[in-house]
Structures are given as structure tokens and as C-alpha cells.
Chains A and B, each alone.
Chain A
């Protein structure tokens, strides 16, 4: 079945450091890929998305490129801020499941120190 694997956390960085959170997936079809972010005490919210191979999603300085050849969707940010501290979830939605089911990774907690 479909699955999403992302790097275990927590990830601890100093402010202005470069961030990479790795995400790989397995899917039988052509999934859409997402990164969601969960700030403390809140629900998840969509950070960025990509719906086909080679698409780059971007938002708030975060980027991720849909790489079909490596089945990856790594999240990057050039300079993190304390306010980026949160849990990040990689996810996919596969048309083979009718698009109704989104598979989430286990989440990666990011701490950014001032």
C-alpha cells in the first residue's frame, strides 16, 4: 500500500540555519504530495503542495520539489526562524484511493533556537 517515510526528529537548529527534512514515498499511482505544519496547540495546516512530477511547491520561504525518479519530496528552507518551530508532516493523496484518503508521515519536530 501507499506509505510516507520522513526523517525522525527532533531536529534542532539555530536561527538562520538551513533546514532540510527528508521525505520519501511509495505509491501505486500518481499521487499529489503535501507538507503540512502543526504549531503547538493547533491543528495541521497546509504549508505547500505539488501535484505532478517536477513541480515545486513553495510558501513562507519553504520549498519542496516532487521528484518522481527518487520518490522524494524533501522540505527545505534557507534560513529558519524561531517562529518555524513546529511539527512538519509529509503527506500524499493518491488517485487510486479516489483521493479520499491522505497518508501522513510520522511527523518531524523542529526546534529553532535564538
Chain B
């Protein structure tokens, strides 16, 4: 079974459209994340949810809206897509260890978004 899965794997769409990416983890983790990876492989955190509560919200345009219906799912909805949104989006999950600082993350396979 895939630990962290994302759908779709590829997403090609026109500027101005609205799209969603779904993420599910079956590891029983309590924390989930969305990252954006640009063409130079630079990885930037966008959001993090802990037990369905938003705990990290980086400087991301409000066209991006995460939703966590339960601990195992974290979806990303993007409104009014722009050319600059083209990137690979990764979902990840983790379970905080005792002390709170140990934070090994498990990544999904990524969703390659291309905005035309």
C-alpha cells in the first residue's frame, strides 16, 4: 500500500481555471503538509495541518486554500490559476516524536501542475 498518495499525478490546465489536488496518508500520522517545488528543485513549504488544525500558513496567495476533512486527508484547492503556479506540488505527512522536534516526513509522489 502507498503510504502517502496524491491525485492526480499530472494536471494540465488553462490560466484562470480552478483545480484541486487530493492527498491521503495511511500512516496514522497527525501532521500533513503541502510543498511547492519549482523547476530548480527548490522546495518551499506552503501549509501544514496538525490534527486537522492549520498550524503553518506561509506567504501563499489566498487563491490557494487547503482543506483537511480528517487527519488522513489534506486537499489543496487553487483558484484562478496563473502561469507562475506551474510547479510540482508535494504532500507529506509526519508524526511528532516525544519532545516535538523529531520530524521525519513522508512524501507523496508529487503532482506536476502545468498552467497554459
> Complex Cα distance A49/B108, Å?
19
Q: B residues within 8 Å of A by Cβ? A: 4, 31, 40-43, 45, 48, 50, 55-56, 90, 92, 96-97, 99-110
Tell me the interface secondary structure of chain B in the complex: loop
Partner of B102 from the list A32, A36, A101 (CB cut-off 8 Å) is A32
C-alpha spacing A110/B64, complex, angstroms: 33
- A44, closest chain B residue (CB): B107
Per-position 1/0 for A2-29, Cβ under 8 A of B: 0000000000000000000000000001
* Chain B, Cβ-Cβ closest to A101: B56
Contact of A104 among B31, B43, B101 (CB under 8 A): B43
**Closest residue of B by beta carbon distance from A89:** B43
| Residue numbers in B under 8 Å from A107 (CB-CB) | 41-43
Check A100/B50 contact, CB under 8 A, given A32-B102, A34-B104. Answer: yes
A residues within 8 A CB of B90?
43-44
Q: Which residues of B contact A109 (CB under 8 A)?
A: 41
List residues of chain A with CB under 8 Å of any chain B CB: 29-32, 34, 36, 38, 41-46, 49, 51, 87, 89, 93-95, 98-102, 104, 106-107, 109
Residue of A nearest to B108 (CB): A43
